């Protein structure tokens, strides 16, 4: 066990001594903010280094954004032909999948609405609207939220009548496939388990509410209002950082949201919202990462992170994306139910030191939630 731990530490040190991660971040910032890459001294890269940057972008699901950053490089610094062709093919696939996802979102939402159900789009295709090129943001599944619990159950009944195979998770959420796309209905909008914050969060959801926005390719969808959206994205990142790990894509989503929504929110109210939700200390770390690693300008940082550096979160991001503790190594649907539950629980225990330092109350209640889930 000790030898394995030592080997992992040495592997991580070797990773940080390479320049591919720095090159990836330079190109990612360029794509994220549509500007010339910083850190030009890192370039040009060798074919082997470009190959590694490509693989890192794939693991972190930011292939489209990094490709956007590459477009700002001089021609002589572009990736070699073999890597270039693969990159173009992947970005084309991302764009085509996003178009399909948008069609499925509109189809399902319109159907639910015709049945008299109020449905809200969480993250995903709604968050893509914060980007200059929404179709280049890599998508996962479609997340819906029904503010009324009875309407949520009604939606499941409607799906069953159509012969859709719906699976229910331990927390009550359901997931299914529609036209080949994974869809999930969540039981709550915000990934915050602390029971002492629930009354405030319910009131916040009622007062802040939701709004209609135009989805790329036409049609409107209901999404959380600006303040609520920021809290939703923040809490989502926090939950995954405590458990399976979090990738750069979700952090890019938060950075873009901070920039785009800046004129629609009051920074003091946002910080107060984080405090009352019990995640202010964590939010300082999150904003430190957005500033130091993703280049978010000070004017879009709602929580000043003077006493924090982004290293603890950076370690989780790179470990999760590069060392196989995130994405592909996550729970496999073919695994037995008890194995999936146990694996989830163990990943939360693995990051318990990090969680207790930055979000101790929420980590306690999250683990309690997981323990209850193991017993179901």
Confidence (pLDDT) at 340? 60
The more confidently predicted of residues 363 and 237 is: 237
**CA-to-CA separations, 183 to 15, 79, 174, 214, in angstroms, rounded:** 35, 36, 8, 20
The more confidently predicted of residues 320 and 256 is: 256
pLDDT at 321 over 70: no
% of residues, the chain, pLDDT over 70: 85
Domain membership flag for residue 333: yes
If you average pLDDT over each of 200-214, 303-317, 352-366, which comes out highest? 200-214
> What's the rounded Cα separation, in Å, for the pair 89 and 200?
46
> What's the rounded Cα separation, in Å, for the pair 47 and 83?
8
Domain membership flag for residue 12: yes
pLDDT at 342 over 90: no
The domain of 311 spans 225-376
The predicted model gives 216-226 an average pLDDT of: 89
Confidence (pLDDT) at 79? 96
CA-based angle 233:290:344, to the nearest 5? Answer: 50
Number of domains in the chain: 2
Q: Choose the final residue of a domain: 57, 79, 101.
A: 79
Domain membership flag for residue 375: yes
% of residues, the chain, pLDDT over 90: 72
Q: 375, 322, 326, 374: which is closest to 350 by C-alpha?
A: 326
User: Could you give phi then psi for residue 176, rounded to 5 degrees?
Assistant: -160, 175
Are 313 and 285 in contact, with CB atoms under 8 Å apart?
Answer: yes
pLDDT at 302 over 90: no
Confidence (pLDDT) at 47? 96
Are 183 and 176 in contact, with CB atoms under 8 Å apart?
Answer: yes
Average pLDDT over the chain, rounded to an integer:
87
pLDDT at 13 over 60: no
The predicted model gives 159-175 an average pLDDT of: 92
Give the least confident one: 97-101, 213-217, 255-259. 213-217
> pLDDT band for position 15 (50/70/90)?
low
Domain membership flag for residue 185: no
> What's the rounded Cα separation, in Å, for the pair 364 and 348?
10
> What's the rounded Cα separation, in Å, for the pair 166 and 371?
24
pLDDT digits (tens, 9 = 90+) for 322-335: 334 444 444 444 45
Confidence (pLDDT) at 118? 96
pTM reported for the whole predicted model: 0.90
Confidence (pLDDT) at 39? 86
Confidence (pLDDT) at 364? 80
The more confidently predicted of residues 197 and 323 is: 197
Give the least confident one: 102-106, 286-290, 329-333. 329-333
pLDDT at 214 over 50: yes
Confidence (pLDDT) at 244? 80
Domain membership flag for residue 246: yes
Q: Choose the final residue of a domain: 79, 112, 138.
A: 79
Domain membership flag for residue 245: yes
The predicted model gives 308-313 an average pLDDT of: 88
pLDDT digits (tens, 9 = 90+) for 237-246: 999 998 888 9
Are 251 and 233 in contact, with CB atoms under 8 Å apart?
Answer: no
Confidence (pLDDT) at 333? 46
pLDDT digits (tens, 9 = 90+) for 111-144: 999 999 999 999 999 999 999 999 999 998 999 9
Number of Cβ within a 10 Å radius of residue 299:
9
Confidence (pLDDT) at 4? 47
Q: Choose the final residue of a domain: 46, 79, 112.
A: 79
Domain membership flag for residue 68: yes
Are 210 and 223 in contact, with CB atoms under 8 Å apart?
Answer: yes
The more confidently predicted of residues 144 and 345 is: 144
CA-based angle 99:100:101, to the nearest 5? Answer: 90
Domain membership flag for residue 154: no
> What's the rounded Cα separation, in Å, for the pair 250 and 252?
5
Confidence (pLDDT) at 1? 43
């Amino acid at each position: 066990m000790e030898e394995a731990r030592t080997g992992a530490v040495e592997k991580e040190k070797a990773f940080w001594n390479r320049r591919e991660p720095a090159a990836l971040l330079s190109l990612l910032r360029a794509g994220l903010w549509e500007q010339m890459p910083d850190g030009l001294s890192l370039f040009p890269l060798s074919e082997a280094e470009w190959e590694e940057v490509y693989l890192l972008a794939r693991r972190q699901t930011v292939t489209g954004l990094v490709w956007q950053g590459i477009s700002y490089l001089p021609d002589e610094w572009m990736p070699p032909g073999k890597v270039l062709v693969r990159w173009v093919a992947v970005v084309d696939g991302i764009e085509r999948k996003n178009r399909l996802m948008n069609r499925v979102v509109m189809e399902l939402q319109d159907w639910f609405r015709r049945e008299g159900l109020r449905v809200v789009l969480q993250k995903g295709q709604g968050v893509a609207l914060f980007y200059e090129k929404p179709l280049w943001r890599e998508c996962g599944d479609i997340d819906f939220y029904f503010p009324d619990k009875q309407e949520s159950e009604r939606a499941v009944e409607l799906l069953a009548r159509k012969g859709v195979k719906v699976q229910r998770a331990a927390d009550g959420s359901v997931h299914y496939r529609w036209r080949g796309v994974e869809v999930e209905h969540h039981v709550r909008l915000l990934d915050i388990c602390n029971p002492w914050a629930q009354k405030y969060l319910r009131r916040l959801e009622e007062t802040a509410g939701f709004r209609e926005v135009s989805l790329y390719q036409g049609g409107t969808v209901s999404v959380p209002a600006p303040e609520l959206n920021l809290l939703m994205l923040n809490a989502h990142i926090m939950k995954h950082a405590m458990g399976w790990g979090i990738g750069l894509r979700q952090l890019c989503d938060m950075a873009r949201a901070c920039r785009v929504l800046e004129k629609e929110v009051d920074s003091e109210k946002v910080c107060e919202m984080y405090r009352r939700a019990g995640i202010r200390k964590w939010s300082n770390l999150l904003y430190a990462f957005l500033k130091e690693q993703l280049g978010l300008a000070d004017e879009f940082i709602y929580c000043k992170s003077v006493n924090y550096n982004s290293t603890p979160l950076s370690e989780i991001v790179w470990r999760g994306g590069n060392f196989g503790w995130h994405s592909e190594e996550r729970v496999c649907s073919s695994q037995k139910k008890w194995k999936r539950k146990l694996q989830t629980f163990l990943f939360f225990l693995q990051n318990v030191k990090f969680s207790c330092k930055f979000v101790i109350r929420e980590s306690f209640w999250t683990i309690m939630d997981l323990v209850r889930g193991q017993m179901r």
